[in-house]
Every structure is written in C-alpha cells, then in structure tokens.
Structure 1
Amino acid sequence: MSTPTDDPLARERAHLAASRAALRAMRQDAEALDIRDVTANWVNAEVLARQIEDRVKALADLSDTPLFFGRLDYEEQRWETGGRFYIGRRHVHDAHGDPMVIDWRAPVSQPFYRASRKDSLDIGLRRRFGYTGGDLTAYEDEHLGDPAGPADSSEGGPTSKLLQQEIERPRVGPMRDIVATIQPEQDEIVRSGLGGTVCVQGGPGTGKTAVGLHRVAYLLYAHRERLARTGTLVIGPNRSFLHYIEQVLPALGELAVQQATVDDLVAHVEVRGTDDAPAAVVKGDARMAEVLRRALYSHVTMPAEPVVVVRGSRRWRVPAYELEVIVRELLARDIRYGAAREALPQRIAHAVLVQMERAGEAPDDRVQDAVARNAAVKAAVKSVWPAVDPAKLVLRLLTDAEFLAEHAAGLLDEDEQRTILWARPVRGVKAARWSAADAVLIDEAADLIQRTSSLGHVVLDEAQDLSPMQYRAVGRRCTTGSATVLGDLAQGTTPWATRSWAEALGHLGKPDGAVEELTAGFRVPTDVITYASRLLPHIAPGLTPVASVRENPGFFDIRTVAEPAGVVAACAELLRNEGSTGLIAADARIPELAEALTAAGIGYLGPGQETTRETRLTLVPASLAKGLEYDYVVLDEPRAVVDGEPDERTGLRRLYVALTRAVSGLVVTHSAPLPAQLAG
C-alpha cells in the first residue's frame, strides 16, 4: 500500500490540504485584526475597516475552484525555499511567511505560461493538475529540460490532455477565469505594461475577453498602488454581458474593478427615444465633435462696453479693447470652456489691480478676489462668456435648423443636417425624447465645458460596435491612463461598425496603441468554426480565419425541420448532454419560440440570467448573443437572422456571431433556404 511519501498524487493532495489550511489562517488573521487603537479618527477607522473587509473577501477559499493548478521545478536551486513553486490564483503563505502557493501574476510564475523545450527558462519540470470540483484528481508532467522529448503544451497549441480537458470542460453559469489555460501569445498580452494601450483583434473563441480581464488582474498586481488611486473600469456592450463576466475578477481576488456600459458612462439625461440608422450614423460621426465645439464657442462674444469697478471713492475702468485682448488670449489657450470662464473674472480683476498699483496702492490677493466677485465684473463675464448647459446646447442643435446650419457648415451637408434634426419642437431638456446617440453628444459637450476625470486603465470589450463619438466618450475616461481594446471586426453589427483598428484607436485618443491578433481558437469546435468561416470573405475579407486547436471536432448538424416543433426537439436533444444550451434566434421569432418551449414543458432563462443544474437552456435573441457562450447551441433559421438586420452585410455579421457561440456542439435548424454565403 502506497503512502504519501511514495505516492506523488497523495503528496500533492497533502500540499493542497495544507495550502487551504494556510489560506484559512490568513483569513482568520485578517478577521482578527483589532484597529480600535491604531486610527486617529473615525474617518481613518472607516477606511481601514473597509480595506480589511476587502482583504477578508479576497482571501475567500472557493471550495469548487482549484487553489493551485500548476507546479514549476526550476533546474537550479536559487531560492531558499528550493526551486519548486506551486502556481495558483493568489498568494498563500504558511505561519512562517514561506510561500505555499505563488500568485500566477508573479514574475516567478511567468515560465508556467512561456517555457518550452526550445526555451526552458531554467524550468526542468512543469506539472499541471486536474481537478473534479475542488478535489485534486490527476497530474501531468512536462520535462522541459529534455530537448528530445515530445512536443510540449506551449508549442502549436495545447497538447496537454489536462489542459485540453480544462478548455473543453462543460460550462454552466457565468464566465470563468482561464488562468490555468493561458497560452503564450495570450500571456504576452496579459503581461504587457501599464503605460501602453493594446488593441486585441480576436475571432470567436480566441479568448480575447478573458485576456482583457486577466490583463486587468495582472496590472492591479503589478501597479496596485497607482491603480488604487486612479481606478480601473471594464466596459461591456450590455448588462447581460457584464453579468456574464462579473465573477472572473473576484475569482482572481480583485474586487475593486468597476463595470459599466457606454450608455452608463454618458447617462446625463434619461434615454427614452431611438434613432433610425441614418440619424444614428451621423450623430455618431466624429465630425459632430467639431460641430459641438463651434456651437459652444459661438456663445463667446467680444466686449463692446468697458467694465467699471467701484471701490470706495475710486472708480477703476477696464476699456473694451483691453477686455477683448483678455478674451482672445483665453480663446488662444485652448482650455476647456468652463475653465476659461472661471479664469476670466480673475484676469479682469488683475487688470484692475495693475491700475491700482500704478496709482500707488498695494493690493493683495484678497483684493483681487474681491474685485473678481464685483457685480460689474460678474455682469461682464455673463455677457461675454455665458454659462452653457451641455444638454441645452445639444437640444438647440437638434431643433434649430439655422443654428445647426451655421455650425455644421463645411462639415455636414444639407441632407445630413436634415437627417438629425428633430421633426417637432421640444419645450425643454426634460421633455425631450433623447436617444443613446444624443446622450453621447451631450457627454462630448460636457467635456468641452469641463474636463472629464480620467482613470488609470480602461478595458473596452466588443469595441467593434462603437461609433467614433462613443470611442471619444471612452477615450475621455483614460486620457491620462491606458486602455485595452478588445474586438473582432468580423462581428461588427452596427451601421457604424469599426472599419479598422487604427481608425478606432485614433478616435480613442490612443493612435500609438499596439494591435495584436489572436488566431488560435480555444472555444469553438473545429467543424463549427470552419462552417462559420465561410462568411468571412463576405463580411471581413482581410481577416485571418480562426484556427481551432481543439482535439474534439465537436458536434455539428444542419437540419431541415418543421417549425417550431423541430426546434424544440433539437433543444430537448441537446439538453440530454451535460452543460448549458443556448437557443439563438432572430429577435422577431423569440415570442413564438418561447411559447413553444413553454408548451413542451421546457424551462428556459433569458440572456444574463445564470444557468443552473435545473435550468440549463437560455433563449437568446440574436441581437444579444455577442460575447456569450454555451456548451451547445441551437441556431434557429439563419435566413431570419440575416433578414432581421437593415442590410445583408450586417445580417451576415450577426449570423457569424450566432454561429460561433457553441463550445461543444451546434445544431442549425431551418425551414427556409440557408443564405447562399454558407454554401460550399
């Protein structure tokens, strides 16, 4: 009978148990901290208590999640602890402070993702662990120090059986981290520096979203103090998507990252209206930024009257020509409208103080502030540089044809101007039926007036669907920071979809951002991605097709069915498998399919709702499928998906998205003929 000393798996299990005990002790130590006598006031006590609370949460042991997933044995014994390191989601140390698990983001962990037989990085052995739930059940070794050995998992895709199993493991519930399966090309992006902006072009299943989230986790590890001050933000396309990814960063111990949609960022007004496609395209065009700037600064007028300041028995007169010089100097400085308006009374007051000094007086800063608050100065500022409300400015542009024509001259032609003008007059900002594109314009105007606060790092996912003006809105949130831009040009389904990443980075204000391309597919089965790639020549002819590195070709079938009974039957069939199932259909067909599922006694969820063991089917409108994934997918009526969009190219892109949501299998059901572009 083997003992832990001669059974490698038993030894690893013992280390896992000891590591979990050490993590519990770390958490207990944090919970036991007494801060009653270490803070100067209640404010500091509150801040420290919140920090300790976050620390306790970050030290949670997720019972069904592996605490460590790998081991590195270095060839040279260069550390006091020896050359063996267990790699996991977070750092764990014992009572003496010696590491039992090393954070995957630490420099010493990097060879776990990068080492190969061609370049072992001084690693003799890389060991991967297999788990069932939270129980360690298997291990697999790669002897990287042996150049004559078989190919390792860093060369040409995941040849490791355990790695392959982890990639293909059925998924129920929200998105999970990929920390155990990060590939070298992904790791290079994850560990890129904070100072530069990175744009990741990745086809379906290449892991671009996971890469972006893991990059946030890495940057918080490497630059925690700086990002704690400046903040981080993940921007997704919709609430369903954000709900799907929201557990990834907490599982890695990062709890302070905010999540939002672009609509959340620009929520200056209540959005109750919608634009037709032509109007939305014009409103989203970058030219609108200059239209807004012209309209805003048209409120500045040159002084026609002098300013006379009365102090005691003296009258101080600043002539109109001198005021004009001050106004023109402020305009030439190209600072924000609001900042210039705040500076104007001080400039006028300074001109008065110069006169006082010439008359023999000795005024100080308090006198200048008093002059700046003088009623005559205030009246002059109000007349020359009036306050402007951003929403009212946009409302006037959209309702006053003459005002729009004056400031759009040479930028928008007459047809474009008519396209965005509202048909009916509006009584005020609150009565207006603002659209999402209008809110972005208001955000632009607000930034022209007062600078938007900048964060340290922003992750922008599904970026290919943003308009130029939306890119500008995001860029304002990271003017002094950096960004990770994630997307796939082939999946752009808006009328204003991104044409090139260079153009997008320019609108974002990051023209020097590096563009990286991921082409190895880890999620979508070979047969499925090969079928979907038939659409690429028609929707994005310059892109490299995704090459699936999965060993399992996946289940793939195309069926002519009687609707909707055949669709329901396909769902029932796939639900017999382990994992999640998504039924994706054109938006207009969702009510009919929902009724058919209910009649058949099959429960289902909506996008963003978390699947459970009892309810594993999600009914997904094609318009909300982007970014989501399911073990099995039934795609209903491809022709209806295409026809549901304003034009064929957008419809084919929507179809490409829907075809590539499956992890293990796809069934395409149809009664109408399939789109000709899928033939072959």
Structure 2
Amino acid sequence: MSAEPTELADERVYLAGARAALARMRQQTLATEARGGDAIAAEYLAATLHRRAESLRDDPTGTLFFGRIDQSDPQAGAERWYIGRRHVADQHGDPLVVDWRADVSTAFYRASRAEPMGVTLRRRFGVDRGELTAYEDEHLSDPAEVTGDSRIVASEIERPRVGPMRDIVATIQPEQDEIVRADVATTVCVQGAPGTGKTAVGLHRAAWLLYAFRDRLSRTGVLVIGPNRAFLDHIGAVLPALGEVRVTHTTIEELLESVRVRAVDDSDVAVLKGDPRLAEVLRRAVWSRVREPTEALVVPRGSRKWRVPAHEVRDIVAELRTRGIRYDAARQMLARRLAHAVLLQMERSGDSPDDRVQDAVARSTPVTRYAKSLWPQLDPRHVLFDLLSDPVELARHADGLLDPRERELLLWTQPPRTRGAARWTSADTVLLDEIAALLNRPTSLGHVVLDEAQDLSPMQLRAVGRRCATSSATVLGDIGQGTTPWATDSWAESMTHLGKPEGHLEVLDRGFRVPAAVIEYAARLLPRMAPGLGAPVSVRENPGRLEVRAVGEERLLESLVEVVRKACGEPGSVGVILADDQVPKASTALTAAGLAHLVLGLDHGDTSEHPHQVLVVPARVAKGLEFDRVVVLEPAAIAEAEPDERTGLRRLYVILTRAVTELTVLHTRELPAELADSPDASTAPTHATA
C-alpha cells in the first residue's frame, strides 16, 4: 500500500476518535444536573448547559477539523495540532482539536517559508459530506517538497453555493487573519473590492472577539449591521456555524426605527437630512428649550419662605448648560441644584439641614414646577415636528448653517395639522435618533460590525458611532460599490463621522470569490465611477466564464429562460439580477417555463431551511450576495433606475461582481461604453447576438 492512502486512513481514524470524544463531551453536559442557590440561578444554569450542549452537537455533513500543523520547538519538542471550528478534548482533557480562534491556530493561517513560526508541516484536508477525501502538505522547512492534492484550497473557495453564506475558517488568508485577530480596542476599517472576503472577515472577527474576550462582550453585546434583510438572511448562518448565536443582526433602518415610516423623501431632501450640519441644527433646537429665569424661586417650608433670586438661578442654569452633559441629565440635576441653594440659605440662617431635607425640597411641588418651567421634558418627535413645520423655528436654529433654499427643502410643504399625523420618513428616523441622543446617552455595545458602510450618510454614521462610543468597531465596505446619493468617497471622512478617526485602514484587493474574466470586465467601470480606486485582482485559478449577449427585445425573456434552464443543469446557485420594475415579468416567465425560484425582497419565509437554486434578485437588494452563476438583464435599465450616472454605474458594478463561476449579460439596449468596447482581445468577453 502506498504512503498517501495510509496517511489518509490514519487521519480518518483520528477523525473518528475526535467525533467520539465530542459525543462524550456532549453527553456529559446533558447529564449535568442544573443545581443553583435558588430557582432563578438553577434556570440560568440550565439555559447555559443547554447552549453548551447545542454547541457540542456534531454536524455529520462537515468535519471536526480542516487542517493540521506540526511544530518543532527546541525546548518543547515536536507538537501536532488539529485545527477545527470548535475545541474537542479527550477524557483526560488533552486537546484532540483546537479551536481555530486559539492562539496556537494563528500559525496555521500565517506561517510561511519566510517566517515558518516553528511550523515544519501544514496540512489541509479535502472534505466531502463529512468524510476526509484528500490532503495537501506544505513542508515549510523544505520549499521543494509538496505532497497531496494541491487544489484543496481552490476547490473549497470554488465549491458550489446554494443557501446562505458559509464560513471561511478553512481558507482564511494571512492578510485576512491579521484583521480577524486585531485587538478588541482597535477599530478597523476594511476597504475591500468585490470578492475579497471583507464580509466574511468581519463576521469571523466578531467570532474571534467573542472567543478571546468572552466575559466582556457577553455582557455588552455584539451587533452586526447590514444593508438589507436579504443580506442579513444570506450571512445569518455564518456565526452560528462558528458557535456564536448571541449576536444581533439588524439593518440601519431597523436600528433607528423609533416611529412608523409612512413616507419617502425626494433624493435631494434625503441627502440634506443626512448632512452632518443637521447635527448642530438639532443641538440648537434642543437646548433652545431651556428658558432664562425671570422670577425668583420661592419655597414655603414650615412658617418660612425661602427665596432664590432669578440671577442666582440664572447662574445655576448657565453652569449646567456648560457641563457637557446630556439634556435630560442636566434637567434632572436642576431640581437638586435649586434645593441646594435653598439649603445654603437655611444654613446661613442658623439651621442645620441634612441630606434628607435637601431631598424633600428637591421633590417639593414648588421646586419641581419651577424647574420644569425652565427646563421642560422633551420628546424627540415634538422637537423635530416643530422644526420641520415652522419656518421661523427652522431659520432660527439653522442660521449660518443652511441657506434659504436648503431650509425650504427641509420644511414640510403641507405641515400636518397635529403631531400625531406626521408622515415620517426613513431619513427622519435618523434625525429623531440624533435628538434622542442629545437628551440621553445611548448604551454603548461591546463591538459593532458595520457592513456596506460606504452607503451610510454622515448622520447615519453618527448614529452607529453612538452604539460603540466606548468600544470598537469593524467597518467594512468598498467605495466603488457606493450606491446611495450620499455614498462616501473618503474613508477618513466616514470614520470621523463615526467618531473613530483613529481607526486603522486595511485594504483587501485580492479577489478570491470573483473569477478573473468577470472582475476584469466589471473593473472597466472604475475609472469613470470611482477615479483613483485601484482595480481588484483575482487570484482564482479558474478564470470563470463571461458571456455578453445582445438579443432582440421580443426574445429577452425567452433568452432568460434558456440561460437559467441551462444553468440549473449544473450544481450551485443561480441569481437573476435585474431592475426592480422588471422583476414581475421575469418571475412570470420563469414560472411559465416550470423553473422554480424565489424572489428576494418579495417572497417571505426562512430561505436557509428551504434553499432555492434559482433566486430572482431586484437590483436594490443584490449588494453583498453571491451566486455560482449570475444572469444580468438589461444593464442600461439597472443604471438608469438610479438618481445619477455615477450611482447607476456603481450599482451596475455591484451587480456584475456577484458571480462566483459564470456571468451572462443579456441586453437589448446599448451597454455603457466601457462595457461595450473590447480593446484587449486577450481579456475580452464572449459577445453574441441572438
């Protein structure tokens, strides 16, 4: 028998032993009796044991480890470590598999022949339905020696996709691992071109932080913010697969939704409401509600009346306004400061009041009524309603900040008769959140992962920054994929609005997901839509397939059915991406042809449990998704649906880079000039006419 099959057989025996050990660990957890000092403690312990047991459940479709490193240390001797998604120990507590997040696993991802980190051999395993099928060895001490299957990493990256995003623990690259393991106190901004794995890196960073700083983050929480619900559904399985289930996923709209959204702003109004100057307008509007005292405070107590003159109250109010605390905190302090002024008068008259007297005075009706008249309690909706409905009020607070045309844009053209009838927009919810933060300090979470951050307005970034004001963030995005009218052109500016100007910028430009033929075609748009932004480079061995086909208008849907039917004959997912208003016609044509599919953004239900091979994707929800084969219909219609040319081209760039294996473009109208021309025949796409 050859050495290689023997090696593989030995590894399979080791895997069987690790599976048995994991089953024993889970059984021991299930057998542990939840005893506590009281019923609540016992219930908490039971819940903890249940979560522990669920994390130890074996997945027969996967393997417990995907790699191995052999290390040689002059003092410690030779050591061997198997790297997997979770820690598995034998009955003596010795590790059979170490968690990919453990310190010892770092060498698996970063060791190289230039810096071997004590690693003599790195082994990667090929896996199929839970079985080890192959292995690849790198002998870091002997560059000339490579054994086993050299395509394991490439095969894992290119494996067909159906259902939600998978984790990438088996294929994390050294530059990605540097970001994943950045310290919890470090805010990292990742500029990542399509297919560079920036979303996966952000999620794996969250998983690593929860492992390395479990106690701190389990108390303060981790939040993942994505661009839309379809995107969150797509990535929702990654962290649970890594053993982390207590992470909240939300969109920016859901995060800030404090009122029912019943209207939509015009683009220019929405851009203005996202402008950072609005923060100062709102600050002025809030603090203008504090009134100057014109009368003295009079407090009857017993047979005497104590009087605090208006000028003294004015000094107290002025001092509170300059302390840099929130509006409501200062409002609550005012009554105690007034009571303290009364106590000083009592002491000067010979009395000896204590803290109980001060508390009683602070709670007395004369003091609370007087304090409320100077420092009223505010509701964010009332403040914003008054600002948007009253031109005098807006002009007063926007003086020197907004010009007359901008103030006119902000004002409601037909102000609601009552505050309850206001038709709030999504942009208004951001302003309401800003006002709420002026009133009370929001809770800061342990860590925030913000994806597609290039699409957030400055005011939205301020809102996210408040959720991690005392902690760190992982900011992910691509300036080239900015598709909102307020999309950023500068990460430095965005990080300043987020409140993290010290954030460390990392650039990922090696594309592992998008094949070369596709990324080079899409990158033709970059000089026109994002000058100065470097083009990504695909490192895939498989160049992929690209076909650009011009068809007659009457044959567009017929050609779509033809391409999708052919794609369904291959393994993996199929994404049909088109302008939003074309979705119904395309869906109807696919249904008539007997091609089952799901329409993202319209169909409901858990798509992860019942995955469809074919997904029809409106252009507005395509960002962040990936499919083995993508069919793009009528690029011109997709671009024209956006408010301006730059945004339209960026939307098209996003859509063209969703393919992992194959991209087919069907069009009846002229393509953008950059996509129609093929100056370099060696990289030109296949053009066809039907």
Do structure 1's residue 115 and structure 2's residue 115 form an aligned pair?
A: no
Q: Which residue of 2 aligns with 1:267?
A: 257
User: 1:182: how far off?
Assistant: 0.3
User: 1:639: how far off?
Assistant: 0.8
Kept after mapping to 1: 8 A contact 2:162/2:611: no
For the residues of structure 1 that align with 2:673 and 2:439, how far apart are their CA atoms? Answer: 51
Taking the TM superposition and a 5 Å limit, the aligned residue runs for 1:474-553 are 474-553=464-543
For the residues of structure 1 that align with 2:76 and 2:665, how far apart are their CA atoms? Answer: 56
For the residues of structure 1 that align with 2:611 and 2:236, how far apart are their CA atoms? Answer: 22
Do structure 1's residue 590 and structure 2's residue 583 form an aligned pair?
A: yes
Aligned residue for 2:598, secondary structure, equals coil
Aligned residue for 1:127, secondary structure, equals strand
Do structure 1's residue 106 and structure 2's residue 106 form an aligned pair?
A: no
Taking the TM superposition and a 5 Å limit, the aligned residue runs for 1:60-139 are 60-76=57-73, 83-139=79-135
Aligned amino acid, residue 423 of structure 2: R
Aligned match of 1:321 in 303, 311, 315? Answer: 311
Taking the TM superposition and a 5 Å limit, the aligned residue runs for 1:5-20 are 7-20=6-19
Kept after mapping to 2: 8 A contact 1:118/1:147: no
Aligned match of 2:451 in 461, 473, 476? Answer: 461
For the residues of structure 1 that align with 2:441 and 2:412, how far apart are their CA atoms? Answer: 29
User: 1:413: how far off?
Assistant: 0.9
Aligned amino acid, residue 306 of structure 1: A
User: 1:431: how far off?
Assistant: 2.0
After superposition, what is the alpha-carbon deviation per residue over 1:46-83, rounded to whole angstroms, capped at 9, x for unaligned?
22222222212222212212210000000237659x50
For the residues of structure 1 that align with 2:610 and 2:255, how far apart are their CA atoms? Answer: 35
For the residues of structure 1 that align with 2:611 and 2:288, how far apart are their CA atoms? Answer: 62
After superposition, what is the alpha-carbon deviation per residue over 1:389-418, rounded to whole angstroms, capped at 9, x for unaligned?
011111111111111111011111111111
Aligned match of 2:320 in 320, 330, 349? Answer: 330
Kept after mapping to 2: 8 A contact 1:91/1:103: yes
Q: Which residue of 2 aligns with 1:607?
A: 600
Aligned residue for 2:73, secondary structure, equals coil
Aligned residue for 2:420, secondary structure, equals coil
Kept after mapping to 2: 8 A contact 1:172/1:613: no
Kept after mapping to 1: 8 A contact 2:163/2:612: no
Aligned match of 2:56 in 56, 59, 82? Answer: 59
Q: Which residue of 1 aligns with 2:365?
A: 375
Do structure 1's residue 649 and structure 2's residue 646 form an aligned pair?
A: yes
After superposition, what is the alpha-carbon deviation per residue over 1:439-468, rounded to whole angstroms, capped at 9, x for unaligned?
010000000000100001000001111000
User: 1:12: how far off?
Assistant: 0.5
* Gap change, CA 1:75 and 1:422, over 3 Å in 2: same
Taking the TM superposition and a 5 Å limit, the aligned residue runs for 1:244-263 are 244-263=234-253
Aligned amino acid, residue 112 of structure 1: F
* Gap change, CA 1:612 and 1:322, over 3 Å in 2: closer
Kept after mapping to 1: 8 A contact 2:515/2:538: yes
For the residues of structure 2 that align with 1:648 and 1:109, how far apart are their CA atoms? Answer: 47
Q: Which residue of 1 aligns with 2:571?
A: 578
Aligned amino acid, residue 116 of structure 1: S
Aligned amino acid, residue 452 of structure 2: E
For the residues of structure 1 that align with 2:542 and 2:10, how far apart are their CA atoms? Answer: 32
Q: Which residue of 1 aligns with 2:346?
A: 356
Q: Which residue of 1 aligns with 2:619?
A: 622
Aligned residue for 2:653, secondary structure, equals helix
Aligned match of 2:401 in 411, 422, 425? Answer: 411
Q: Which residue of 2 aligns with 1:278?
A: 268
Kept after mapping to 2: 8 A contact 1:605/1:618: yes
User: 1:611: how far off?
Assistant: 6.7
* Gap change, CA 1:98 and 1:460, over 3 Å in 2: same
Aligned match of 2:337 in 343, 347, 353? Answer: 347
After superposition, what is the alpha-carbon deviation per residue over 1:524-562, rounded to whole angstroms, capped at 9, x for unaligned?
010000000000001111111110000001111111122
Kept after mapping to 2: 8 A contact 1:125/1:141: yes
For the residues of structure 1 that align with 2:424 and 2:349, how far apart are their CA atoms? Answer: 56
For the residues of structure 1 that align with 2:114 and 2:598, how far apart are their CA atoms? Answer: 48
Aligned residue for 2:311, secondary structure, equals helix
Moved more, 265-274 or 600-609: 600-609
For the residues of structure 2 that align with 1:613 and 1:511, how far apart are their CA atoms? Answer: 43
Aligned residue for 2:577, secondary structure, equals strand
Aligned amino acid, residue 13 of structure 2: A
Moved more, 243-252 or 261-270: 261-270
Moved more, 354-363 or 486-495: 354-363
Structure 2 unaligned residues grouped into runs of 5+: 679-690
Aligned amino acid, residue 344 of structure 2: V
Q: Which residue of 2 aligns with 1:238?
A: 228
Query: What TM-score comes out, normalization by structure 2 length?
Result: 0.95
Q: Which residue of 2 aligns with 1:436?
A: 426
Q: Which residue of 2 aligns with 1:156?
A: none
For the residues of structure 1 that align with 2:485 and 2:192, how far apart are their CA atoms? Answer: 21
Kept after mapping to 2: 8 A contact 1:580/1:611: no
Moved more, 409-418 or 181-190: 409-418
User: 1:610: how far off?
Assistant: 2.7
Aligned residue for 1:493, secondary structure, equals coil
User: 1:207: how far off?
Assistant: 0.1
Aligned amino acid, residue 70 of structure 1: G
Moved more, 635-644 or 562-571: 562-571
Aligned residue for 2:279, secondary structure, equals helix
Aligned amino acid, residue 208 of structure 1: K
Aligned match of 2:667 in 667, 670, 673? Answer: 670
Query: What TM-score comes out, normalization by structure 1 length?
Result: 0.96
User: 1:7: how far off?
Assistant: 1.1
Aligned residue for 1:295, secondary structure, equals helix
Moved over 4 A (4+): 1-4, 77-80, 147-150, 611-614
User: 1:644: how far off?
Assistant: 1.1
Q: Which residue of 1 aligns with 2:686?
A: none
Q: Which residue of 2 aligns with 1:35?
A: 34
What's the RMSD between the two structures over aligned residues?
Answer: 1.8
For the residues of structure 2 that align with 1:129 and 1:3, how far apart are their CA atoms? Answer: 16
Aligned match of 2:142 in 121, 146, 152? Answer: 146
Aligned amino acid, residue 315 of structure 2: V
Aligned amino acid, residue 497 of structure 2: H
Q: Which residue of 1 aligns with 2:562?
A: 569
User: 1:341: how far off?
Assistant: 0.1
* Gap change, CA 1:377 and 1:622, over 3 Å in 2: same
Q: Which residue of 1 aligns with 2:685?
A: none
For the residues of structure 1 that align with 2:19 and 2:237, how far apart are their CA atoms? Answer: 21
For the residues of structure 2 that align with 1:222 and 1:160, how far apart are their CA atoms? Answer: 32
Aligned match of 2:161 in 171, 188, 196? Answer: 171
Do structure 1's residue 421 and structure 2's residue 411 form an aligned pair?
A: yes
Q: Which residue of 2 aligns with 1:218?
A: 208
Structure 1 unaligned residues grouped into runs of 5+: 154-158
User: 1:42: how far off?
Assistant: 2.0
Q: Which residue of 2 aligns with 1:181?
A: 171
For the residues of structure 1 that align with 2:222 and 2:213, how far apart are their CA atoms? Answer: 11
Moved more, 354-363 or 471-480: 354-363
* Gap change, CA 1:107 and 1:413, over 3 Å in 2: same
Kept after mapping to 1: 8 A contact 2:276/2:458: yes
For the residues of structure 1 that align with 2:512 and 2:556, how far apart are their CA atoms? Answer: 33
Identity of aligned residues (%): 58
Aligned residue for 2:599, secondary structure, equals coil
